[in-house]
Amino acid sequence: MIEFENLLQDADNDLVKQAQKDGGKCIGYTCYHMPEVLLNVDNCFSVRIRAPRSTSIDIATYYMSNYTCEFARSLLERGIEGGYQFLDGIAGVDACSAMNRCYEHMEILKINDKKDFFVTHCDIPYKVEDYTVEAMTTQMRLRLLDVLKEKCGADTSDKALLKAVEEHNKMCKVMTEIGDLRKEENPPITGYEYHVLCLVSYCCPTSLILPKLEETLAEIKKRKPDKEPWYRARVAVVGSEIDDLDFTRLLEDSGAFVVADRYCYGSKPGREEIKIDKKKDILTQIVLHYMRTSECARYMSEEKITQRRDTADFLAKEYKADGIIFEQMKFCDFWAFERPLASHILQEEYGWPVLSIDRPYNVRGSGQLRTRFQAFVEALEIKRIQKGKGGSAA
């Protein structure tokens, strides 16, 4: 775990350096709408970019205003500081205005001085229909794969895509097996530990981190947890982007156990195997997988809104959660609309205790959040005790 935590201290970690030394081309991205598996084709490898240990974001705020999400501003600040000089390219998507502005400023301000460095953008639909799948597939061919072929010399053939999918599925299988251990009443892994493992799976070259994760899975299976569970309540976390380990640490220090991570940069979605029929178009199937499994609030059709609520309900039940924490980063446009109504419906119509919060990009040791976490855990604990005694759980 110490090795994994060290890999998350900087975006340009040791495994990224090793892969580039071996001739790999590093492509940064931020969003699930950009199919991760396509960035790992042939000699390319993906890194989901972060801004760990961010402090001041004053310069980025000057360019983007203080009413845009801190995640986008933190990334721009880190780029201006020179923190993304290692990237060979950035694969962006037209997902939200804040990230669009971040990508544009990175390009305009020339945050990377490599000769062949590129920033490419892909348009993203608002719903899943036959024509939007076709449009998205065209985007990925013209604005991603063709660019990788031109700039990085990557092989983007169907054979190369299938190989990338195969390696991706191996990663997903390991991460799913580790994550499913959280279903146990007395699991051999904490939510914080899983958060670390999940992040390194996104932020390191798959070929290099996969053997380490396989070894970790074998080690975890041999663990013997204490006789009594260490937590006071089990919670599912739902919502916008979380790559801040302090968020999970603060939550679990308050007595909660994060059993499901249905948020951006989490494993639900993100670590599901991609099923491929070799008789059909490979790229279309990959695109369709990401569109169908995406839980992003950008998708505004009624069926997608219902899907997000049903997914939160299903995961909370599947992982035996006592309650749900619905979180949103401050000034996140899409989740700011989603969170208030969805958290209310999950409580009133689905019957879940819900804590609804907005938060900064880096929570650090937020006293306010700690207090709210502790109060929610205490309420869940009392509810469970009352239910166990046969009393009212209301």
pLDDT of 254-311, one tens digit each?
A: 999 999 999 999 999 999 999 999 999 999 999 999 999 999 999 999 999 999 999 9
pLDDT of 275-290, one tens digit each?
A: 999 999 999 999 999 9
pLDDT of 89-109, one tens digit each?
A: 999 998 898 999 999 999 999
The whole-number average pLDDT for the span 336-347 is 95
The whole-number average pLDDT for the span 345-349 is 97
Q: What is the model's pLDDT at position 364?
A: 81
pLDDT of 362-384, one tens digit each?
A: 988 788 999 999 999 999 999 88
Helix (H) or strand (E) holding 44: strand 44-48
The whole-number average pLDDT for the span 66-75 is 94
What is the percent of the chain with per-residue pLDDT over 90, rounded to a whole number? 90
Pick from 97, 104, 98: nearest CA to 79: 104
pLDDT band at 17 (very low <50, low <70, confident <90, very high): very high
Which one-letter DSSP state was computed for residue 273? P
Q: What is the model's pLDDT at position 393?
A: 44
Pairing of strands 256-263, 89-94: unpaired
The whole-number average pLDDT for the span 219-246 is 94
The 10 Å Cβ neighbour count of residue 118 is: 18
Q: In whole angstroms, give the CA distance from residue 197 to residue 213.
A: 8
The whole-number average pLDDT for the span 117-125 is 93
Helix (H) or strand (E) holding 92: strand 89-94
Domain 14-157 top-level CATH class: alpha beta
CA atoms within 13 A on the CB side of 255: 16
Q: What is the average pLDDT score of the chain? A: 95
pLDDT band at 392 (very low <50, low <70, confident <90, very high): very low
Under a CB-based contact definition with an 8 Å cutoff, are residues 237 and 373 in contact? no
**Domain residue extents for the chain:** 14-157
Q: What is the model's pLDDT at position 248?
A: 97
Q: What is the model's pLDDT at position 55?
A: 86
pTM: 0.95
pLDDT of 131-174, one tens digit each?
A: 999 999 999 999 999 999 999 999 999 999 999 999 999 999 99
Helix/strand/coil percentages in the chain, nearest 5 = 50, 15, 35
pLDDT exceeds cutoff 50 at 394? no
Q: In whole angstroms, give the CA distance from residue 176 to residue 270.
A: 10
